[in-house]
């Protein structure tokens, strides 16, 4: 380990450790920041949802309590008015007293939209507020019709508006809410069920009104429109992301903050039916409803729940809270909040941290690299020059060749040698780059054609297959087994996805067939070729026994190929033997062809109960297969017994073709004939074996293409045709000769069209063949074509069989083959390429695509031929260059055969320079050469010979890299110091293919090395000093970074505090004038879009200057604080705002509040401030503090500005002061008040 660290380059030692420290520290800080932020955000999100659910619960409690109170008031007030008259006269009281009473109940409460009374005689009178806020009276007429009437400001009935159409004589005694109220005898909540069309859906509470004799006089009801409830939820949720839903346990939508109304389906009989919330047009609402129904199903006791949903690739948090009461309500509050709103700051923080990390890494890397380069440049100059001379890196140059000493001579010799070799390497590199570019173009072409077919499953399969091929390094047997299991599972999952799509199409009858006459034998051969890898993994042999005389079958080619693949796959999975036979026979009496798959293997052993159970289970498969498209949904146990959905889908496809499918009958034997005995019935519990047998796994019948005599196709007597070509030029250059293309297809029309297209292109010579056997005969007779266009499905030989025979003689580079087929099935394409095809085209193919791909393959072949000729020429030139090198060079094959020894090597070894080394037996292998040199090689400075196993020549031939400079060669008269270097050359698999040995006289170099060693020691001392300085500078830099981070965090906290203080009044702790202006502008714009009212209250403390003069300014400040607390305690809605308008003036913004509500709040404000009894001796109104209030209300629009609303409130405030203070005045555009009122 220490030796390896010492070999690391000095720049890496100086830079990498510090970069690694920075990376670890910044990454750890970033991760902790991200994890903490994520945890905090999720906690805030959960708390916000709980708060929203609490507010919604309070709102519902308030609304429901208001409805119950209104109904109870009606019961108390109407019992003496209505009950006695109904009991005596059996009629509804006449006159406007009942109408005015009901009208007064509606206008006094914003949460009551309907108040009504249905008598025991079937009459009904009620007052309702429609969606536009208009009050109407709904009552039955003398003839029994239910009509609506206008009402004036005193509650009196006016003109008739309309009557309920298509529902004559409605009897409210038959409505569910009436019967429930009479049946229970106490207040109860009615079913949310709209009885008739054009009647609004209400949430209503009902209560029976009992007479003196114990009989019901009628039923009182008070209701709230569900759309009104949705508006209240929207008001509460305003300005917040997400949705707020109220659902029944049955799944029906009560209300939604999005404004969506409960889904209602009109019925033909005149009524309406509610739909569940899962039918909502809002995808978020529908998905949240589905999750809610799944979570609350059967949940007892009721408790809060949380879940996460994904809609349009965006995540939402769902919070569920039960809502029920003693009267029978069973609702769920659903809060839906998007994650993105709260996680976006976290994502920004993560990118900021990544940016800081990258910047620190870049800064540290540049700084360290610059310092390292500056320190090591003199040392590396000398070191690299010495390594270049020693290692043979000819592209490098040595400086100092102008020196007059021996270093200059050595530099000039090296530069001359490097210049010679560099030219050869540059030319060879250019050729290799061109080949790689062409290969890359071919790869990109293949990738682009298959890109549209890829899916996540296909990506997983590709990754697993690449790992199995060793992309990630060597694999253990356990790893290979696990990866193969994963690959098989992914492939089965991919097939299951396709099967599920087919099940859906079959179930809804969406399968369209395109029957064509095809050859059965060719189709079966294609299926066998595609499934052969699966059979090989299970050690099975697929054998086709189909006669050539079978007539064609009339099927859809794609679907028939799917049938064959599914059945063969099923047979392979269920195989118990070693061979699967595929047979076919013609059933003449039925005009059908019967195809069977047979499992040939040994008879199951008697007593082998596991095999008996498997066969017995398989024998019961047939009744489980679906008989109709509507019954294609099977239980998991059935799917397992059938082997998945594939057999079910196959049976339906066979039936759509007019055939039948059967399982389990074995060549005249039932499956029961192959069953052994139960283990407990076997004597001695000893299993015996039986003779081999043949079991039929599955069979099906399919109609033939025609009956009677088959039609004949008239073709030319010869199936070989050559298109007319121009006379080729007479030249000896093979690159200028026309390219020979052979087209093979059994369809004469397609064959003629392809040949015509190619014949029109210059430089092409086209030949054709109508069958695979004819094509093989032409190729064997010669000449061999440059390109073969081959059809996949042919009657005599399939394209796979033709390719298999051709690849025994010609490689894909020598004879390119392009496969033609009617389908673009991935399995078919992969099987073709695996068989040896170069490319695949799908028919019908366009002329432009055919010509482009043909030229591309021909160009690749021409370039490969040119490269082969160029490589031979380069080898000759390299041999000349190596002879010119100032060192001995020897090249050996992996087996030890000597391929090359240059002239200088012969001289150094005292060999005959004119003798061919391949003819010298002593040099023909690595071992004899090592033995011949062993008695002439000594350790430097000694008389001790070097062992045979330590000679670099021997080590290089056995696959070991070796370098030695401590040897001397005895040349008789003297010993010379020698350097020998042996380098093995391996292939991609790591096997040694060649060994290159270089050796040279290093007498002069040893002298030079002594000088360089002294110089290197001085440089190392200098580097150590500068390294210590660099470490200190990095430490100072880290300290500065930490200080900068602390300063940024403090600045961020200060900015947040300033933002909060900018909109808060320091004295009263309510919003200041700036916060008031921003909130008013925001609510004005929002309500202008929705058309809802906006109310404003301006308050002024009466005689406040006199209060300050009497009690002092500190007491005055305390008075303002007390007033602000009273106002803040009265505001409970999130959208409302209390602000200090200026001095002793305050303002209250009330969005979506009508004028009546604003007046009620003004009255409460005045009453509560008077109730405080803050002493004020100088007041001219009362002995305590009072306020004057100006109230204004209008509907925002684009025609006016918020200043109009402020001016109206200010005018009303001035009017209140003029009228004597301690009161409120109103200015509003309201139909019941007019332009101005006090």
CA dist 345 → 342, 354, 356, 1056 (Å): 7, 14, 16, 15
The 3-state secondary structure of 677-731 reads CCHHHCHHHCCECCCEEEEEEEEEEEEECCCCCCCCCCCCCCCCCECCCCCCCCC
Q: How far apart are CA 645 and CA 638, in angstroms?
A: 9
Q: Are the C-beta atoms of residues 857 and 764 closer than 8 Å to each other?
A: no
CB atoms within 10 A of CB 285: 23
DSSP code at position 476 = -
Classified as helix, coil or strand, 1051 is helix
Do residues 57 and 322 lie in contact, with contact meaning Cβ atoms separated by under 8 Å? no
Q: State the residue for tokens 């029994």.
A: 144
Which residue, among 600, 601, 607, 652, has the nearest Cα to 626 in the 3D structure?
652
Q: Tokens at residue 512, please?
A: 């369209």
Distance CA 1051, CA 1046 (A): 9
Helix and strand element counts for the chain (H, E):
30, 38
What residues contact 893, with CB distance under 8 A and at least 6 apart?
899, 993, 994, 995
Give the number of other Cβ atoms within 10 Å of residue 150's Cβ.
Answer: 14
Residue 1069, classed as helix, strand or coil, is: coil
Q: Are strands 1137-1142 and 1145-1151 parallel, antiparallel or unpaired?
A: antiparallel
66: CB partners within 8 A, 6+ apart? 109, 111, 112
Q: Which residues of 68-98 are buried (b: 16+ CB within 10 A; e: fewer)?
A: bebbebbbeebbeebbeebeeeeebbeeeeb
CA–CA separation, 769 and 242 (whole Å): 69
Taking 3-state DSSP, the helix, strand and coil percentages for the chain, each rounded to the nearest 5, stand at 50, 20, 30
* Cα 673 to Cα 582, 616, 666, 698, 922, distances in angstroms: 22, 10, 9, 17, 74
Between vectors from CA 1111 to CA 1109 and to CA 1114, what angle results, nearest 5°? 100
φ and ψ at residue 796, rounded to 5 degrees: -85, -55
**Rounded distance between C-alpha atoms, residue 755 and residue 217, angstroms:** 98
What element of type H or E holds 1111? Answer: helix 1104-1111
> Torsions phi, psi of 984, nearest 5?
-80, 145
Q: Dig out the tokens for 981 from the structure.
A: 């270097």
* From 1144, 1145, 1152, 1177, the catalytic residue: 1144
Q: What is the secondary structure of 993-1031 as a DSSP string?
A: EEEEEEEEE-HHHHHHHHHHHHHHHHHHHHHHHHHHHHH
CA distance 913 to 629: 88
Residue 1144 annotated as catalytic = yes
DSSP 79: I
Q: What is the CA radius of gyration of the chain?
A: 48
DSSP string spanning 547-611? -TTPPPEEE-HHHHHHHHHHHHHHHHHH--SSEEEEEEEEETTTTEEEEEEEEEEEPPPBT-HHH
d(C-alpha 420, C-alpha 1129), whole Å: 96
- Chain mean position to CA 1035: 44
The total of other beta-carbon atoms located within 10 Å of residue 470's CB is 11
Active site residues: 1144
């Amino acid at each position: 380990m220490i030796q390896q660290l010492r070999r690391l380059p000095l720049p890496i030692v100086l830079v990498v450790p510090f970069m690694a420290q920075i990376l670890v520290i910044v990454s750890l800080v970033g991760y902790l920041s991200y994890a903490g932020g994520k945890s905090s955000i999720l906690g805030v999100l959960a708390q916000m949802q709980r708060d929203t659910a609490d507010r919604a619960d309070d709102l519902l409690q308030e609304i429901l309590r208001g409805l119950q109170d209104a109904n109870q008031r009606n019961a108390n007030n109407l019992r003496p008015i209505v009950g006695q008259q109904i009991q005596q006269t059996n009629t509804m009281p006449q006159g406007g007293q009942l109408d005015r009473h009901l009208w007064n109940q509606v206008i006094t409460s914003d949460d009551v939209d309907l108040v009504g009374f249905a008598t025991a005689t079937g009459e009904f009178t009620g007052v309702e507020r429609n969606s536009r806020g208009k009050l109407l009276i709904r009552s039955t007429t003398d003839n029994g019709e239910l009509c609506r009437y206008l009402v004036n400001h005193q509650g009196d009935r006016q003109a008739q508006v309309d009557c309920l159409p298509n529902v004559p004589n409605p009897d409210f005694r038959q409505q569910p809410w009436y019967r429930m109220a009479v049946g229970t005898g106490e207040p109860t909540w009615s079913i949310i069920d709209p009885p008739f069309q054009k009647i609004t859906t209400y949430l209503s509470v009902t209560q029976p009104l009992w007479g003196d004799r114990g009989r019901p006089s009628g039923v009182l009801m008070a209701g709230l429109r569900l759309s009104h409830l949705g508006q209240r939820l929207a008001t509460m949720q305003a300005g917040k992301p997400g949705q707020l839903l109220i659902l029944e346990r049955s799944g029906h939508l009560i209300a939604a903050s999005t404004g969506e109304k409960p889904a209602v389906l009109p019925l033909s009989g005149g009524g309406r039916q509610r739909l569940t919330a899962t039918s909502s047009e809002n995808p978020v609402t529908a998905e949240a409803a589905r999750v809610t129904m799944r979570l609350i199903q059967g949940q007892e006791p009721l408790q809060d729940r949380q879940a996460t949903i994904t809609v349009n690739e965006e995540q939402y948090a769902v919070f569920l809270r039960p809502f029920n009461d003693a009267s029978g309500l069973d609702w769920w509050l659903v809060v839906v909040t998007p994650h993105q709103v709260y996680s976006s700051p976290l994502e920004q923080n993560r990118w900021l941290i990544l940016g800081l990390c990258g910047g620190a890494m870049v800064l540290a890397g540049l700084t360290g690299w610059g310092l390292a380069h500056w320190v090591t440049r003199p040392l590396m100059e000398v070191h690299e020059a010495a390594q270049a001379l020693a290692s043979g890196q000819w592209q490098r140059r040595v400086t100092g060749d102008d020196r007059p000493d021996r270093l200059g001579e050595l530099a000039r010799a090296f530069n001359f040698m490097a210049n010679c070799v560099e030219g050869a390497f540059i030319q060879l590199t250019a050729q290799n780059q061109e080949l790689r570019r062409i290969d890359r173009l071919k790869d990109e072409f293949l990738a682009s054609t298959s890109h549209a077919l890829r899916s996540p499953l296909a990506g997983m399969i590709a990754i697993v297959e690449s790992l199995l091929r060793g992309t990630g390094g060597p694999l253990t047997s356990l790893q290979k087994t696990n990866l193969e299991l994963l690959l098989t599972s992914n492939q089965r999952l991919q097939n299951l996805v396709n099967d599920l799509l087919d099940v859906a199409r079959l179930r809804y009858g969406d399968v369209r067939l395109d029957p064509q006459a095809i050859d059965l034998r060719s189709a079966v051969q294609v299926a066998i070729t595609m499934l052969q890898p699966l059979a090989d993994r299970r050690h099975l042999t697929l054998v086709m026994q189909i006669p050539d005389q079978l007539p064609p079958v009339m099927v859809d080619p794609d679907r028939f190929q799917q049938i064959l693949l599914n059945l063969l796959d099923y047979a392979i999975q269920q195989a118990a033997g070693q061979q699967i036979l595929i047979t076919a026979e013609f059933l003449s009496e039925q005009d059908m062809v019967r195809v069977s798959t047979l499992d040939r293997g040994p008879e199951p052993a008697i007593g082998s109960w596991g095999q008996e159970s498997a066969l017995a289970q398989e024998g019961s498969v047939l009744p489980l297969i679906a008989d109709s498209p509507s019954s294609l949904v099977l239980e998991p146990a059935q799917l397992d017994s059938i082997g998945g959905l594939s057999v079910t889908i196959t049976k339906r496809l066979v039936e759509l073709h007019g055939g039948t499918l059967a399982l389990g009958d074995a060549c005249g034997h039932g499956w029961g004939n192959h069953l052994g005995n139960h283990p407990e019935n076997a004597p001695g519990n000893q299993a015996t074996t039986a003779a081999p047998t043949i079991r039929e796994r599955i069979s099906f019948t399919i109609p033939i293409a025609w009956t009677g005599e088959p039609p004949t196709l008239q073709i030319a007597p010869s199936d070989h045709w050559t298109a007319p070509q121009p006379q080729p030029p007479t030249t000896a250059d093979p690159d200028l000769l026309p390219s020979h293309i052979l087209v093979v297809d059994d369809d004469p029309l397609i064959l003629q069209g392809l040949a015509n297209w190619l014949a029109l292109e210059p430089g092409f010579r086209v030949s054709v063949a109508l069958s695979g056997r004819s094509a093989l005969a032409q190729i064997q007779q010669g000449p061999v074509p440059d390109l073969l266009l081959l059809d996949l499905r042919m009657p005599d030989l399939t394209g796979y069989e033709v390719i298999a025979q051709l690849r025994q003689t010609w490689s894909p580079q020598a004879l390119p083959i392009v496969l033609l087929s009617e389908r673009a099935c991935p399995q078919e394409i992969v099987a073709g390429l695996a068989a040896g095809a170069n490319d695949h085209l799908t028919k019908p193919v366009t002329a432009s695509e055919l010509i482009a791909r043909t030229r591309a393959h021909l160009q690749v072949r021409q370039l490969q031929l040119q490269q082969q000729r160029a490589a031979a020429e380069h080898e000759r030139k390299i041999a000349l260059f190596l002879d010119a090198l100032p060192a001995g060079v020897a090249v050996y094959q992996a087996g030890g055969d000597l391929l090359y020894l240059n002239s200088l090597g012969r001289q150094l070894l005292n060999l005959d320079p004119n003798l061919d080394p391949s003819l010298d037996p002593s040099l023909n292998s690595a071992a004899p050469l090592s033995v011949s040199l062993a008695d002439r090689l000594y350790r430097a400075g000694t008389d001790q010979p070097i062992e045979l196993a330590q000679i670099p020549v021997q080590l290089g031939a056995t696959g070991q890299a070796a370098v030695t400079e401590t040897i001397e060669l005895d040349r008789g008269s003297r010993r010379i110091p020698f350097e020998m270097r042996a380098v093995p050359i391996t292939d991609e698999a790591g096997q040694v293919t060649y060994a290159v040995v270089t050796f040279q006289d290093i007498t002069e170099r040893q002298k030079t090395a002594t000088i360089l060693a002294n110089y290197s020691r001085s440089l190392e001392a200098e580097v150590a000093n500068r390294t210590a300085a660099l470490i200190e500078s990095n430490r100072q830099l880290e300290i500065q970074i930490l200080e900068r981070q602390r300063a940024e965090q403090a600045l961020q906290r200060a900015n947040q505090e300033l933002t909060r203080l900018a909109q808060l009044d320091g004295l009263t702790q309510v919003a200041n004038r700036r916060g008031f202006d921003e909130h008013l502008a925001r609510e004005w714009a929002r309500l202008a879009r929705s058309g809802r009212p906006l109310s404003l209250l301006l308050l002024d403390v009466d005689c406040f200057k006199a209060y300050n003069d009497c009690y002092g300014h500190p007491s005055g400040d305390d008075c303002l604080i007390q007033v602000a607390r009273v106002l803040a305690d009265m505001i409970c809605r999130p959208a409302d705002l209390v602000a200090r308008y200026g001095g002793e003036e305050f303002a209250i913004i009330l969005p979506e509040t009508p004028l009546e509500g604003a007046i009620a709040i003004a009255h409460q404000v005045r009453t509560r401030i008077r109730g405080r009894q803050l002493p004020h001796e100088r007041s001219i109104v009362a002995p305590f503090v009072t306020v004057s209030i100006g109230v204004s209300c209008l509907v925002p629009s684009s025609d006016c500005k918020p200043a109009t609303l402020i001016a109206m409130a200010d005018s009303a405030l001035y009017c209140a002061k003029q009228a004597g203070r301690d009161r409120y005045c109103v200015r509003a555009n309201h139909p019941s008040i007019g332009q101005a009122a006090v």
